[in-house]
Amino acid sequence: MNYELDHPEIREAVTRLCEAFPGEYWRQCDREQRYPTEFVQALTDAGYLGALIPEAYGGLSLPLSAGAAILEEIHRAGCNAAACHAQMYTMGTVLRHGSDQQKEKYLPGVADGSLRLQAFGVTEPTSGTDTGSLRTTAKRDGDEYIVNGQKIWTSRAEHSDLLLLLARTSPRDEVKKKTDGLSVFLVDMRTVVNKSLTIRPIRTMMNHATTELFFDDMRIPADSLIGEEGKGFRYILSGMNAERMLIAAECIGDAKWFINTASNYASDRNVFDRPIGQNQGIQFPLARAYSQMRAAELMLKEAIRLFELDENPGEEANLSKLLAADASWAAAEACVQTLGGFGFAEEYDVERKFREARLYQVAPISTNLILSYIAEHVLGLPRSY
């Protein structure tokens, strides 16, 4: 794997940082479902989580390709950026659609890590993927909004100061499209948590710090609204391409970790007096996963190229997420098979990475919904839902 990669200095520095967080660190966090505070602090101190924030607000002003390189290297090193990747990109909604005052108030703190903006509340238990049917409401009352409802799978809420919240501000029957009448708010959770906001952790198959949120007459200042009332769905959509590309980069990093781990093991492990890697039954799934990973990597490169030219790479961003999640899952499967019984042993980290990699077939967008997007928006087929 010695083809040319962009941002080599950043990649090398991230790899060095990750060396301080070996498998044992992640196993311990995983066992206790503990938040990897030290790892997140190290990334924050190095400025990586503020990489995409403009220098004017204290960030590194780096392009998306640099953000992707950072996240890919974290995963290639066997670490997991899911604990904090949202700190890198959730701020995009504020940057693109927030007022100057909101940007000046929040972005410098997000850039230096003193303000954590890594909770993103869109999904609800009843509406699921059908975002337009969400039921959480925000009603204007003088210079405040009153929020009522529930969110699910709001990851990192316990480790975030701010929450980017999507809620309905106009009743469904008063708007033309169900995605109209939704608004985005930047909620300072510190003032409402354990009062009108309840955060309940959800234990999951991997260590992910995800939660349920309950809003009970939660009053927030009217200036928490981002952009115009009723246009929130559009604002959330405008950040989706970047999110898909960054998650694709993580999947590519995972695929590289699995392929590398499996190849090393297959070269060293002797059964029937020869390395198991000499058997084509072991070689081929790894070679196939590698091919899938390379295809995903090239698609991601193209998506990022278009994004950095200010074009709208909806097709390429979705394809790169789809291909990368498939590649990481194929690599995960081949890696477990290559290690045989040891693929299930905690100390090899393969079973942990296997559980972590599985998520990306479902979140932040499920494979089916990406296929629907391609069918409808690229192939011109009738909308299926």
Ligand X SMILES: Cc1cc2nc3c(=O)[nH]c(=O)nc-3n(C[C@H](O)[C@H](O)[C@H](O)COP(=O)(O)OP(=O)(O)OC[C@H]3O[C@@H](n4cnc5c(N)ncnc54)[C@H](O)[C@@H]3O)c2cc1C
| Inter-residue contact 321 to 367 (CB < 8 Å) | no
Question: Collapsing DSSP states into helix, strand and coil, what is residue 156?
Answer: coil
| Inter-residue contact 189 to 212 (CB < 8 Å) | no
Residue type, 136: T
Number of shown-chain residues binding ligand X (CB under 6 A): 23
Nearest CA among 150, 161, 154, 148 for reference residue 201: 154
Q: Within 140-159, which residues bind ligand X (CB under 6 A)?
A: 153-155
Question: Taking contact as CB under 6 A, which single stretch among the options 140-148, 235-243, 246-254, 355-363 is the one that binds ligand X?
Answer: 355-363
Q: Cβ closer to ligand X: 232 or 277?
A: 232
Question: Taking contact as CB under 6 A, which single stretch among the options 10-18, 115-123, 142-150, 301-309 is the one that binds ligand X?
Answer: 115-123
Give yes or no for residue 368 binding ligand X (CB under 6 A).
Answer: yes
Give yes or no for residue 369 binding ligand X (CB under 6 A).
Answer: yes
Give yes or no for residue 385 binding ligand X (CB under 6 A).
Answer: yes
Q: Cβ closer to ligand X: 134 or 259?
A: 134
Give yes or no for residue 164 binding ligand X (CB under 6 A).
Answer: no
Give yes or no for residue 285 binding ligand X (CB under 6 A).
Answer: no
Give yes or no for residue 372 binding ligand X (CB under 6 A).
Answer: yes
Residue with tokens 């390189």: 69
Least distance between ligand X and beta carbon 189 (Å):
14
Give yes or no for residue 363 binding ligand X (CB under 6 A).
Answer: yes
Give yes or no for residue 129 binding ligand X (CB under 6 A).
Answer: yes
Cβ-count burial of 206 within 10 angstroms (0-12 exposed, 13-18 middle, 19+ buried)? middle
Nearest CA among 367, 209, 335, 195 for reference residue 266: 335
Q: Within 198-227, which residues bind ligand X (CB under 6 A)?
A: 204, 208, 210
Q: Cβ closer to ligand X: 191 or 361?
A: 361
Torsion of CA 53, 131, 154, 30, to 10 degrees: -100
* 243 labelled catalytic: yes
Got the DSSP string for 110-137?
HHHTSS-EEEEE---TTTTT-GGG---E
Give yes or no for residue 33 binding ligand X (CB under 6 A).
Answer: no
Q: Which of 72, 73, 243, 356 is catalytic?
A: 243
Give yes or no for residue 3 binding ligand X (CB under 6 A).
Answer: no
Q: How many CA atoms lie within 13 A of 79 on its CB side?
A: 28
Nearest CA among 321, 319, 356, 314 for reference residue 335: 356
Binder among 25, 47, 366, 375 for ligand X (CB under 6 A): 366
Give yes or no for residue 120 binding ligand X (CB under 6 A).
Answer: yes
Least distance between ligand X and beta carbon 339 (Å):
25
Taking every pair of C-alpha atoms in the chain, what is the biggest distance, in angstroms?
79
Euclidean distance between CA atoms 87 and 238, whole angstroms? 17
Binding mask 67-106 for ligand X (x = CB under 6 A): ----------------------------------------
Least distance between ligand X and beta carbon 357 (Å):
12
Measured from each CB, the residue nearest to ligand X is 128
Give yes or no for residue 283 binding ligand X (CB under 6 A).
Answer: no
Least distance between ligand X and beta carbon 372 (Å):
6
Euclidean distance between CA atoms 217 and 219, whole angstroms? 6
What residue ranges bind ligand X (CB under 6 A)?
Answer: 120-123, 128-129, 153-155, 204, 208, 210, 359, 362-366, 368-369, 372, 384-385
Residues designated catalytic: 243
